[in-house]
Amino acid sequence: VTQRYKMTVAYDGTHYAGWQVQPGERTIQSELERAAHQISGEIVRIHCSGRTDSGVHARAQVTHFDLDAPLETRRLARGLNALLDSDIRVTSLTGAAPDFDARRSATGKQYRYFLWDGAVLPPHVRLYRTHVLKRLELEAMQDAAGRLMGRNDFSAFAANPNREVPSTTRTLSQLQVSRKGHEVTIVAESEGFLYKMVRSLAGFLIRVGEGEVSPEAAGAILDSRERTARVPTAPPQGLFLWKVFY
């Protein structure tokens, strides 16, 4: 009988063309599927909670997949980690109910976006932080974040508006901005995000922190429901898929 598995993976997205299998590209999905095939001999399709773009990282991406001939989870996890490069790690692997779906069963997600606003970006965090050259005004960012939270149409904070989604209304249940030294962290939580929504929110909050836009602009931009140059997409390397809720 077919066995379904729930697998949590962490990855450094630096050297990958994102999650999804693409011909001729090295992707997280293709690496995981190749390793799962090597161990099981089966053609394994691995489904994630939500695709991450090229260069985006994950602390805890959740996935599911099936095996026709079940394998013991501990051995399977160890085997996968032995076959994968050290920039992708299986952090947890358990059996799951046949109807568990990494994407559809998820009730929410948390992303974190990390900024560095010191003059010099330390080499050891350079792959995981977005460097901002101006000292960010934290209070202005927090003010703007407060105006974006709640149930809103986030069309103005999504890319590819031509992508067909039934609705662009989402509940942004958390959008927190905090500072520790030169590291500024944005924590965003929602039951679901639009395409490039977190990087768009981060891009806008950076402009606010730089003093380029006033926090009050948030409301008008939301109301416009139109993506314009006022909302830049922040670069991928600062973004981590942090947690998926079920």
With H, G, I as helix, E, B as strand and everything else as coil, classify residue 35.
Answer: helix
Residue closest to 48 by CA, chosen among 75, 74, 10, 79: 10
If you compute the radius of gyration of the chain from its CA atoms, what whole number of angstroms results? 19
Q: Is 101 a catalytic residue?
A: no
Q: How many residues does the chain have?
A: 246
Q: Which two tokens stand for residue 38?
A: 């090597």
Q: How far is the CB of 20 from a second copy (least distance, A)?
A: 19
How far apart are alpha carbons 192 and 104 in whole angstroms? 10
Stretch that binds a second copy, among 126-134, 152-160, 198-206, 223-231 (CB under 8 A): 126-134
- Which is the catalytic residue, given 53, 87, 99, 223? 53
Binding mask 54-93 toward a second copy (x if CB under 8 A, else -) reads ---x-x---------------------x----xxxxxx--
53 binding a second copy? (CB under 8 A): no
Place of tokens 């692997």: 93
Q: How far is the CB of 238 from a second copy (least distance, A)?
A: 12
How far apart are alpha carbons 108 and 124 in whole angstroms? 31
Residues found near a second copy in the complex (CB under 8 A): 10-12, 57, 59, 81, 86-91, 120-124, 126-128
The catalytic site residues sit at: 53
